[in-house]
Amino acid sequence: MEAVDEARPSQTALRVALRRAAHQLYDARPLVFDDPFAVRILGAHAEELQRTPGRNPAYKARPYSIGLRALLVARSRYAEDRLADAVAQGATQYVLLGAGLDTFAHRNPHAHLRVFEVDHPATQMWKRDLLRDNGIASPENLVYAPVDFERQSLADQLREAGFDFAAPSFFAWLGVVPYLTRETFRATIEFIAAQPKGSGVVFDYGQPREVLSPLEQLAHDSLAARVQQAGEEFRLFFTPQEIAAELRNFREIEDIGSAEINARYFADRTDALRLMGSAARIVGAWL
């Protein structure tokens, strides 16, 4: 089975965007990830969120739903925090691999940062329609590079889009790794590892089912089934030890789990928003 349907925009991209929008609408202030475009980009899809509070899983009542939303907002926040560090140290390009409905390009606070959005062509086209239909203009320093990671060369498509291979770049690869083959994962890591000093990457990954507790296995099975129903499929998992081996060509690695993520971003909250379980981890790696 294909991990991504050729002609159809990514349904998981919509689902994670709905949860980021739910964070803006329903979670206590201060938000972990403040995104003024998160609701707006969804247009009519956001009305669906507001019409069915309580019944919509992206809303707030179920602890599992809260834990998943916490992960999604934390990984976006982590990526943009690490990006800010990279820009301060000279990075001039930000590449969103599997950008989905990420709105960073429309909130970019870094004056000289070029943004490359890389995504499956069907998803990218759908996003561009949503932006246009919902009155969100395309900033000048945003470049689109349509790529099917399983069939096309990321380097070739970025070259065609005007990517500068001599400049330090920062890559965000959020919510994408589980959908890839191991070969594509390795080819992408190898590509990033070949970038100039000062470059880096942030991504998240899931641990294999067999290392999870029985309760976490249930949550894993339920999410995997829903993703598969959406026409996409989880197929790549790693342990932290395996990730360290995959990233051996990077100078520095930070690989954080729910306890560290909660301590960093969810301490002292007045609501119940926080990660649960140990399945998901977030990684930053620097050259």
Ligand X SMILES: C[S@@+](CC[C@H](N)C(=O)[O-])C[C@H]1O[C@@H](n2cnc3c(N)ncnc32)[C@H](O)[C@@H]1O
The contact set with ligand X (CB under 6 A) reads: 3-4, 10, 12-13, 16-17, 98-102, 119-120, 123, 147-150, 174-176, 179
Shortest CB 193 distance to ligand X, Å: 20
The answer to whether the CB of 176 falls within 8 A of the CB of 204 is no
The answer to whether the CB of 244 falls within 8 A of the CB of 253 is yes
Shortest CB 263 distance to ligand X, Å: 22
Q: Considering the complex, state which of residue 16 and residue 130 has its C-beta at the smaller distance from ligand X.
A: 16
Shortest CB 120 distance to ligand X, Å: 4
Q: Considering the complex, state which of residue 11 and residue 196 has its C-beta at the smaller distance from ligand X.
A: 11
CA atoms of 57 and 60, how far apart (whole Å): 7
Shortest CB 181 distance to ligand X, Å: 9
Which residue in this structure is represented by tokens 């470059």?
199
CA atoms of 73 and 32, how far apart (whole Å): 7
DSSP string, 141-168: TEEEEE--TTTS-HHHHHHHTT--TTS-
Q: Considering the complex, state which of residue 4 and residue 46 has its C-beta at the smaller distance from ligand X.
A: 4
Q: Considering the complex, state which of residue 3 and residue 189 has its C-beta at the smaller distance from ligand X.
A: 3
Residue nearest to ligand X (CB): 100
Shortest CB 223 distance to ligand X, Å: 11
The answer to whether the CB of 48 falls within 8 A of the CB of 56 is yes
Q: Considering the complex, state which of residue 3 and residue 95 has its C-beta at the smaller distance from ligand X.
A: 3
CA atoms of 230 and 130, how far apart (whole Å): 20
